[in-house]
Amino acid sequence: MKNARKNKGSSTLGLILKILLLLIALAYFVLLIAGKWIFSEDSFFYVGINIFSDQENASAWLRSLAYIIFFLTLSYVVRLLLKLLARNLSKGKAMLDMFSSFIKYIAVIAMLFFILRVWGVDTAALLAGIGILSLVVGLGAQPLIEDIIAGLFIVFENVFEVGDIIVVDGFRGTVKEIGIRTTQIEDAGGDIKVVNNSDIRTLVNMTSQLSLAISEVDIEYSESLERVELIINENLPAIKQNIPDIAEGPYYMGVSKLGASGVTLRFSAKCPEIMKFQVERDLNRQIKLIFDKNNINIPFTQIVVHKAKTVSEEKMADAQAAQKFMDEQRNLSRGMDEDEGNQ
């Protein structure tokens, strides 16, 4: 309950901040467009907020604030358009998501570049220094570069996309996000695994092919196997009709095991990977209904309890007499084993 309230409060605060930033951005662009009529073109305020003006008397504080609003708004609008475009595309969503991440980083770098120039920093020398620094850092950041390059190959070669079900290093889940450096995979239990793109060397994309749903049901040994198989044959079309997610099948694969309490029958069907577990549950249900309708018994575990027998007084007396006899004979025969050894 506390977590739910906390999440609700965070989402409300986030919405308020977004609305506030939107109003600030809207006010800025209105002033930028209509400011020369509201103020004079040479006014201190208008020159400061007009990022397209090269006048040297611009206020560094106003111009820096204007650059922050402009680039953050531009980045937000472009990323929003890409997000809306991705909703209408069945393919290429991962590429648009990655491009959206690039836009965010490029906007921040450009914003910092222009702000530093406003404050008199020699950006040409800064770029030269950054180039040398990038070369030095790049030698120690090879894993980062490998992750980025691997991410680009994943996107452009269409290895997998957001929403695909893949298996990576034994971890099976749905791709939630393909980033510049990492890919997020969510399993059926809601656990999310973050994998570096360069570590995804071998994988199985389950979405690109139909998966096999398996159902195994036991019948009692007393049931006639031939009778059960004839009933299954009659009802296979009905099972397919009742489970629309089945793409191929269902098939009766025969007897898979002779168990301790029953004969195990195996059924299979091909379906989309995302519906595999649901189809298996539906197969179990349909087979159970068919067996109930035709009085086919499914074995269940039975426990046989043996009641301990009470020892009668007569047997107790016999046991005591036998013990007394053994003690007497042991005393009488003591030393006879040694005599036999000396002979």
Other C-beta atoms within 10 Å of 178: how many?
23
Give the C-alpha separation, 270 to 258, whole Å: 25
pLDDT at 325: 77
Mean pLDDT in residue range 295-324 = 73
Give the C-alpha separation, 22 to 233, whole Å: 65
- CA-nearest of 82, 81, 64, 78 to 28 is 64
Helix runs in the chain, H state only: 2-38, 44-49, 60-87, 93-118, 123-140, 142-156, 225-242, 276-293, 313-332, 336-342
pLDDT at 218: 92
- CA-nearest of 322, 232, 214 to 269 is 214
How confident is residue 293, by pLDDT bands cut at 50, 70 and 90? very high
5 phi, psi to nearest 5 deg: -65, -40
- CA-nearest of 245, 283, 288 to 267 is 283
pLDDT at 328: 79
Higher pLDDT, 33 or 126: 33
Dump pLDDT digits (tens) for 247-285. Answer: 888 999 999 989 888 999 999 999 888 888 899 999 999
Give the C-alpha separation, 217 to 219, whole Å: 7
- The pTM for the full model equals 0.46
Dump pLDDT digits (tens) for 158-212. Answer: 777 777 888 888 788 888 887 777 888 888 778 888 888 787 877 877 777 788 8
pLDDT at 86: 64
Dump pLDDT digits (tens) for 71-99. Answer: 888 888 877 777 776 666 555 566 666 67
- CA-nearest of 280, 215, 291 to 246 is 280
CB-CB contact of 132 with 141 (8 Å): no
Beta bridge partners of 299: none
Q: Is 229 exposed, middle or buried (0-12, 13-18, 19+ CB in 10 A)?
A: middle
How confident is residue 10, by pLDDT bands cut at 50, 70 and 90? low
Dump pLDDT digits (tens) for 96-106. Answer: 666 777 777 78
